Amino acid sequence: NCKPISTPIGSTAVLDPDEDGEAVDQNEYRSMIGSLLYITASRPDIQFVVCLWARFQASPSASHRQAVKRIMRYLNHTLEFGI
C-alpha cells in the first residue's frame, strides 16, 4: 500500500550526515540496510544506492530512514524485475 516510484533514489537526495535531524533507532536502520544488502544479490539495480545509505548506520536520522524506505517502495513496485 505505497505510492509507486520509478527510481530508488531521488534527484534531490542529500548524502550528508543530518546532525540536526531527528535521530532514529540504530537497530531498526541497520536491520533495514541488512535486508536490502541481502536483496542486492538478486537485484543489482539497487546495490549502489543501498551502499550509499549504509554509510549512515552509526548515526541515522529520520531523513536517512525515509530514503531507505524509498528503496523499499521502489522494490515493492518492481517485483517483476530480475537479474
pLDDT tens-digit map of 65-81: 999 999 999 999 998 87
- The rounded radius of gyration (Å) of the Cα atoms in the chain is 12
pLDDT of residue 46: 94
- Given this model, what pLDDT does residue 1 score? 64
Q: Which residue has the cell 517483476?
A: 80
10-52 residue pLDDT tens:
888 888 888 888 999 999 999 999 999 999 999 999 999 999 9
- Which of the pair, 6 or 2, is modelled with greater confidence? 6
**Domain boundaries along the sequence of the chain:** 26-76
Does this model's pTM top 0.85? Answer: yes
Q: Which of 64, 70, 2 is nearest to 28 (CA)?
A: 64
Q: What is the largest CA-CA distance in the chain?
A: 39
